[in-house]
Amino acid sequence: SQQGEEDPQALSIQEGENATMNCSYKTSINNLQWYRQNSGRGLVHLILIRSNEREKHSGRLRVTLDTSKKSSSLLITASRAADTASYFCATQGAGSYQLTFGKGTKLSVIP
């Protein structure tokens, strides 16, 4: 079953702009992860943030986590055409390695 929702479902921006995607989840978690998927291919792991962390950076990516609101956001700065993909958040509970995914945000970056 789906853990929650990503918002927005689709996002279209110009190259160079920032893209922000949000994710909500329902149950307590050990960590939350973000993945990228290009056009029906495999998932690429982007970043993992643990439940006791509030913010994490990796290159042009910034992830925040608010466990009180059960929500997370992914910010991609200075977007590139190559960032065009679907982005999924996924959660793992304590003691479980099963990933529970959201529905994803489809990002289009226009050159």
Partner 1 sequence: KAGVTQTPRYLIKTRGQQVTLSCSPISGHRSVSWYQQTPGQGLQFLFEYFSETQRNKGNFPGRFSGRQFSNSRSEMNVSTLELGDSALYLCASSATDSPYEQYFGPGTRLTVT
Give residues in contact with partner 1 (CB under 8 A). 1-2, 30-31, 33, 35, 40-45, 48, 88, 90, 92, 96-104
Q: Which is nearer to partner 1, 2 or 28 (CB)?
A: 2
DSSP class per residue in 79-99: --GGG-EEEEEEEE-TT----
Question: Which two structure tokens, joined as six digits, stand for 77?
Answer: 């700065």
Q: What are phi and psi of 83, to 5 degrees?
A: -80, -10
CB of 25 to partner 1, least distance (A): 14
Number of residues that make up the chain: 111
CB of 38 to partner 1, least distance (A): 10
CB of 52 to partner 1, least distance (A): 14
